[in-house]
Amino acid sequence: MKKHLLTLAIALLPSFQAHADIAIGFAAPLTGQYAVLGEQAHHGYEQAIADINAQGGVLGQKLVAVEADDACDPKIAVAVANQMVSKGVKFIVGHLCSGASIPTSKIYNEEGIFMISPSSTNPALTDSGLSNVFRVCGRDDEQGKVQAHYVLRRFPGAKIAILHDNSTGGKGQAEQFKKTINEAGIHEVMFESYMTGQRDYSALIAKIKNLGVQVLDIGGFHTEVGLIARQLKEQGAHVQIMGGDALVTDEFWSITGPAGEGVLMTFSPDPRNRPEVKPILDELRKPGFEPEGYTLYAYAAMQVIAEGIRRAGVTDPMKVAHLVHRPEIKTVLGPLTFNDKGDVSGSTYVVYRWHDGKYTEIRD
């Protein structure tokens, strides 16, 4: 299956070396169990290209989409990155998953390609100091702290367990949560990993029940977390779940049903609440798509690329990388300023609660 995905991804990559248009690459999971998150980013990326081109493009040139499916798989992602290089793509929106972004960032750096991820939260992506690598989302060391502080404040004295899916992002989030509660003098009763794609969590849930766990922090994607939440409910375990940004899709509730009631998660403040983005939201919603999660983050990543090219006056990716740092760039997420690492300065996380099929920011 993975070989088929790679072949398909490569086959869809046209060559733009001989054209005056500006090719903008996009890489994310477009098939597989995480495709719903890739779809979010894909819609934002395509809408941004359409809107920028409708306004005359950049430097009088049209932006052209070059899309590839990396399935959130590091090996496929590396192959996709090499194909982007061979096709002359100089700007990349992606990758979605940290496990795909971190290895590909090295390829893009060696080849002088501008990379900006809408959703890769692991600190290692930007801590490596690559001058061409950026992200418009926050970091797991910020996210894990917000989760931990909320749990410590709202559930004092609770027995806490921590799970993660061994993915780069999920494990990083869980480790930061653990570090933060440990620094506060609280020690978890359980810290374990589970396999992605697993369907039956009976043994894990039995252990959670035997330990008397009251709060469960999970670093993982909505698919597995949803199943864990549902099976906990089915087996009579009353546990407060705290998850991360990978739960930011309505598909989570499709998996959990009522068992998702009250599940907590962290994500950045919802940009859909910004009045100025309503016209963009209206366009995105016309085909019946709800621009949740990382949709507007991919849109913002495109805005950063376009503004960087305008500032540089040329399509040289490294000149663009130098010029996106300051001054701030106006985006659908609000004004963004990047620090020397390529992270958004002042990025924040807030806590959301799932209720009746929707997630809403809470302020307690």
pLDDT, tens digit (0-9, with 9 covering 90-100), for 282-298: 999 999 999 999 999 99
Residue 6's pLDDT is 44
pLDDT at 297: 98
Which residues, at least 6 apart from 211, have a Cβ–Cβ distance to it below 8 Å?
159, 161, 189, 190
Q: Which of these three, 251, 267, 283, is where a domain ends?
A: 267
Domain membership of residue 224 (yes or no) is yes
9 sits in which H/E element: helix 2-11
Domain final position from 267, 286, 313: 267
Q: Are residues 102 and 197 in the same domain?
A: no
- Does residue 160 sit within a domain? yes
What is the DSSP code (8-state) at residue 326? S
Among 40-44, 275-279, 323-327, the range scoring the smallest mean pLDDT is: 323-327
Q: What is the average per-residue pLDDT within 138-143?
A: 94
> Same domain, yes or no, for 156 and 244?
yes
The type of residue at 218 is I
Q: Taking residues 235-250, report their average pLDDT.
A: 96
CATH code of residue 285: 3.40.50.2300
pLDDT attached to residue 20: 72
Total domains in the fold of the chain: 2
| 322: in domain | yes
DSSP 343: P
Above 50 in pLDDT, residue 18? no
Kindly tell me if the per-residue pLDDT of 322 is higher than 70: yes
Q: Residue 351 falls within a domain, yes or no? A: no
Say whether both 127 and 179 belong to one domain: no
Digit-coded pLDDT (tens) for 47-71: 999 999 999 999 999 999 999 999 9
A 10 A CB-CB count for 288 gives 5
Residues 9 and 133 in one domain: yes
30 & 110 share domain: yes
Rounded to a whole number of angstroms, the distance between the first and last alpha carbons of the chain is 45
Tokens found for residue 279? 């016209």
Q: What are phi and psi of 168, to 5 degrees?
A: -60, -45
pLDDT at 11: 41
Give me the percent of the chain exceeding a pLDDT of 70: 95
CB distance 164 to 176 below 8 Å: no
Query: Rounded mean pLDDT of the chain?
Result: 93
Q: Same structural domain for residues 116 and 259?
A: no
Q: Are residues 231 and 147 in the same domain?
A: yes
Dist CA 130 CA 117 (whole Å): 13
| Residues 153, 122 share a domain | no
Residues 153 and 260 in one domain: yes
DSSP 251-271: HHHHHHGGGGTT-EEEE---G
Name the 3-class secondary structure at 66.
strand
Residue 85 lies in a domain: yes
Residues 336, 306, 27, 276: is their CA dihedral positive or negative?
positive
Sign of CA dihedral 99, 187, 148, 230: positive
CA 30 – CA 44 distance, rounded (Å):
14
Average pLDDT of the residues in 131-153: 97
| pLDDT value at residue 364 | 72
**What's the one-letter identity of residue 181?**
I
Confirm whether 363 is domain-assigned.
Answer: no
Query: What is the number of residues in the chain?
Result: 364
Amino acid identity at 307: E
**What pLDDT was estimated at residue 347?**
81
DSSP output for 117-185: ESS---THHHHT--TTEEESS--HHHHHHHHHHHHHHHSTT--EEEEE-SSHHHHHHHHHHHHHHHHTT
Q: How far is it, in rounded angstroms, from Cα 95 to Cα 82?
A: 13
The model's pLDDT over 243-260, given as tens digits with 9 standing for 90+, comes to 999 999 999 999 999 999
| Domain annotation covers residue 60 | yes
Domain boundary among 225, 243, 267: 267
125 and 17 co-located in one domain: yes
pLDDT at 276: 96
Both 61 and 120 in one domain: the answer is yes
Cβ-count burial of 141 within 10 angstroms (0-12 exposed, 13-18 middle, 19+ buried)?
middle
Contacts of 98 by beta carbon, 8 Å cutoff, 6+ apart: 120, 121, 122, 124, 125, 140, 167, 168, 169, 172
308, part of any domain: yes
Q: CA 200 to CA 181: how far, in whole Å? A: 29
Q: In terms of residue numbers, what domain contains 33?
A: 2-138+273-336
Residues 152, 249, single domain; the answer is yes
Which residues are 240's β-sheet partners? 215
* 248 SS3 class: coil
